[in-house]
Structure 1
Amino acid sequence: MVFIPHPESRITYLIHFMINVLVVDDSAFSRRIITKILESIPDVKVVETATDGQDALKKVIRTRPDLITLDLEMPLMDGFTFLRWVMNNMPTPVIVVSAQEADENVFKAMDLGAVDFLVKPTRHASMQLEEIKADLIEKVLAIPLLKMRKIKERLQSEETKAPSVAPVTTAGDRPRVICIASSTGGPPAIQTILSELPKGFEVPILVAQHMPPAFTALFAERLNKYTSMVVKEAANEDVLQPSTVYIAPGGKHLVVEKRSNKYILLHKDKQLDPKYSPSANVLFSSVADEMDGRAVGTVLTGMGDDGREGSKKLKTKGAVIIAESEQTAIIFGMPQETIRAGVVDHILPLHEIARQFTTLCQ
């Protein structure tokens, strides 16, 4: 059992077993670079590589890896078909390593059970692929914290639910905004919460989901299919509106500023918090400063501790803090760190969070 403070990772993890990896990509160059990155990590071994889905099926059965990195666009059998088979027959953590042009395909893959994704800088064979090194290392080191059983349970329990109608209430002292922090496992968790909120839910929601630039707009567009609220990537100088969900743009930070009787959303440079981008700590702190504690801070699944410091600041202003419970969090890192800070009011499984939002916002 050893601690791995890898120089390319922002976080130290406890590794107590060898992580065996299967690398699946139709590009020989990509397979070679990804293998090189993975084998730079102590206690990580690439046990096999595969050129397409059919090849990968044979090798996943033979090697039974702890982790699979998966390209989506391949000949003979594509990544989606392979992913469906794996999740139905041999549930295994899968990190999608996708070309930028794949766009919404990465969200389709996460619907099928992939735990996270990385974007290749270019579709062509290029040493630029090494730019994903730090992010890939961090995601791989989180695998020992990941609960595959919870992903399987989520896939089995997903069903279409007709939203109820929100009760009509006066504003009173109800929260002015709900803030959500999430990382690995966050996109399907956010989708679940939004799909379970009742029609007519008015309190705006601000989301800091760790995600690359260009994908946050696609994520917002996708979420619009699952909720009666309006979902959009937050634009600079947006005025906070009721019944709207704002996704913080990838590669930037989102903050709130009060001007007269309006709340304005602003983009801030990544250097404000280079550790996470977008940063929940930055978002939560700005809400604490500008909204007098009339807020709900929510920390969902994810590795690391983003959201902890922001939640502490929100709590000093009187906000309500919710953390996703270990029962449903794919990775319990972020919620656990916030709970340990002693500021959490409600520790809830994912399927109870929307109901708690509704209760708090009546």
Structure 2
Amino acid sequence: MSAEPVKVLVVDDSAHNRRLLTELLESSPDVKVVGTACDGNEGLRQVLALHPDVVTLDLEMPRLGGYSFLRLLKSSAPTPVIVISSYAHKTDVFKALELGAFDFIAKPAKPTPDVLEKLRKELYEKVQAARLIRPAEVKPVVRKPKVMPLEPSFVVGIGASTGGPPAVQRLLESLAPEPSMCLLVCQHMPKQFTRAFAERLDKLGPFSVREAQEGDVLAPGHVFIAPGGRQLVVYRQNGQYVVGTPPPTMQDKHAPSVDRLFMSLAEVFGPKTIGVVLTGMGSDGAGGAKVIRKAGGEVWAESEETAVIYGMPQEAVATGAVSRVLPLGEIGPALVDLARKRR
């Protein structure tokens, strides 16, 4: 526990939501709500006056909405922001992440006691994670025209959690010069958001991106996003490599699970597997990293200097299975270089 509580500012136009979030946050002794605001203008004034460690933000507000708030906050007083969004506005979340939001939490439609307890735990985890945030270097990306894919020389599995959506997007954008790979992405995310995440990524460049469905056939130039609440695995069927999306088992700590994806790829592709561990809390991916390395594949990890949260990469590195530790901006070019060498 930190010596000083994490200071949180709650920005939401609903008085009910402000009270609820305050109660949930302050149920933990190491979190303190230092203020609340009913719109973006008041929120900015409160940030400058109270200097919170973290801001929770509703996107739809009168006078100054969430997007404008994020733009102004970034230029005037950069502070980690956790967006609180309803399931009905899934695409808004990813625009907010592109504008600099740290992470998001889905607002429950029916606040039953069990649902509120789950929300309380998620709030606590992400507020604590925001305190550890390391701002990633931002580089402009030149988007390449779409080209016909070549035969893949290896398959890439990508694992990410907290801070992951912008990192995954940036990685895909940097792969545009070499659309011959097939990628499978496990991003910890609620099931109501993974399809919208895939649809947003699909607009970026030469890769065809979709939320994985049972029976999808792996192909070069394609990216499959693990569906929230299920697992993403690969198996061989009738001479093809096919995607499976089984439900989680009692043993699975995450759904989707980076470990399950990595282990499946190692079993099917062996030395043609590259596992990449990006930003995130916890240790998901560390066990799978060891399996990939044992199968003759490679495991790469995002470096501490760019990882928003260094937990997952650090745990993977600690296994001894990671062969390369790279800043986020260098992972894509390194994969492109490897693809060209393996043709």
Q: TM-score, normalised by structure 2?
A: 0.93
> Does structure 2 retain, via aligned residues, the 8 Å contact 1:301–1:334?
yes
Specify which of 259, 265, 284 is matched with residue 262 of structure 2: 284
Which residue identity is paired with 1:207? V
Specify which of 322, 330, 333 is matched with residue 352 of structure 1. Answer: 330
Q: What is the match of residue 235 of structure 2?
A: 257
Equivalent residues of 1:239, 1:262 under 8 A apart: yes
1:82 correspondence with 2:69? yes
Q: Secondary structure at the match of 1:268?
A: coil
- Equivalence for 2:7: 20
Q: In 2, distance between residues paired with 1:130 and 1:34?
A: 12
1:205 aligned onto 2:183: yes
SS state of the match for residue 56, structure 2?
strand
Secondary structure of the 1:251 match is coil
1:337 corresponds in structure 2 to: 315
Following superposition of structure 1 onto structure 2, how do residues 231-250 of structure 1 map, counting pairs within 5 Å?
A: 231-250=209-228
Which of 159, 163, 183 lines up with 1:181 in the alignment? Answer: 159
Q: 1:292 to 1:163 in 2, by over 3 A?
A: same
Give the partner amino acid of 2:32: K
Q: Confirm or deny that 1:296 pairs with 2:297.
A: no
Report what 1:58 is aligned to. 45
In structure 2, what is the equivalent of residue 163 of structure 1?
Answer: 144
Post-superposition Cα deviations, 1:35-79, rounded to whole Å, max 9, x if no partner, equal 111112232100011111122122111101000000101112111
- 5+ long unaligned stretches in structure 1: 3-14
Aligned counterparts of 1:53 and 1:42: Cα–Cα separation in 2: 27
**8 Å Cα contact 1:29/1:125 also seen in 2:** no
Determine helix, strand or coil for the equivalent of 1:347.
strand
Deviates more, 1:194-203 or 1:240-249: 194-203
Change (3 A) 1:277 1:170: closer
1:116 and 2:97 matched = no
1:141 maps onto 2:131 in alignment: no
Contact 1:165 1:199 in 2 (8 A): no
When residues 77 and 46 of structure 1 are mapped into structure 2, their CA distance, relative to the original with a 3 A threshold, is: same
* Structure 1 residue 163, shift from structure 2 partner: 3.2
Does residue 270 of structure 1 match 2:257?
Answer: no
- The one of 173, 177, 192 equivalent to 1:214 is 192
Tell me, yes or no, if the aligned pair for 2:143 and 2:205 is still in contact at 8 Å: no
The alignment's C-alpha RMSD in Å is 2.1
**For residue 144 of structure 2, what is the amino acid of its counterpart?**
P
Distance in structure 2 (CA, Å) of the matches to 1:136 and 1:57 = 21
Q: Partners in 1 of 2:335 and 2:276 — Cα distance?
A: 10
**Aligned residue for 1:33?**
20
Aligned counterpart for 1:70 among listed residues 57, 66, 74: 57
Separation (CA, whole Å) in 2 of partners of 1:286 and 1:125: 37
Local SS of the residue matching 2:243: strand
Q: Distance in 2 between matches of 1:235 and 1:249?
A: 8
Indicate conservation of the 8 Å contact 1:163/1:197, yes or no.
no
Per the TM alignment, residue 342 of structure 1 is displaced from its structure 2 partner at its CA by: 0.6
- Pair 225,75 (structure 1): closer, same or farther in 2 beyond 3 Å: same
Match of 2:208 in 1: 230
**DSSP-derived class of the 2:270 partner:** coil
User: Structure 1 residues 334 and 125, CA, compared in 2 at 3 Å: closer, same or farther?
Assistant: closer
Number of aligned pairs?
Answer: 339
What amino acid is the match of 1:27? S
**TM-aligned CA distance change 1:169 to 1:84, over 3 Å:** closer
Give me the whole-angstrom Cα distance separating, in 1, the residues matched to 2:111 and 2:250.
33
Identity %: 44
Provide the secondary structure at the position in 1 that maps to 2:203.
Answer: helix
AA aligned opposite 2:208 = V
Please state whether the residue corresponding to 1:291 is helix, strand or coil: helix
Q: Give unmatched runs, 5+ long, in structure 2.
A: none
| Structure 2 Cα separation of the partners of residues 221 and 306 of structure 1 | 25
Counterparts of residues 293-332 of structure 1 (less than 5 Å): 293-332=271-310
Question: What is the SS of the residue equivalent to 1:253?
Answer: coil
Residue 144 of structure 1 and its aligned partner are, at CA, apart by: 2.9
Q: Tell me, in whole angstroms, the C-alpha distance in 1 between the residues paired with 2:34 and 2:46.
A: 9
For 2:151 and 2:217, locate their aligned partners in 1 and report how far apart those are by CA, in whole Å.
21
Contact conserved, 1:24 with 1:70, CA < 8 A, in 2? yes
> How many angstroms apart in 2 are the aligned matches of 1:275 and 1:244?
27
How much has 1:271 moved relative to structure 2?
Answer: 3.1
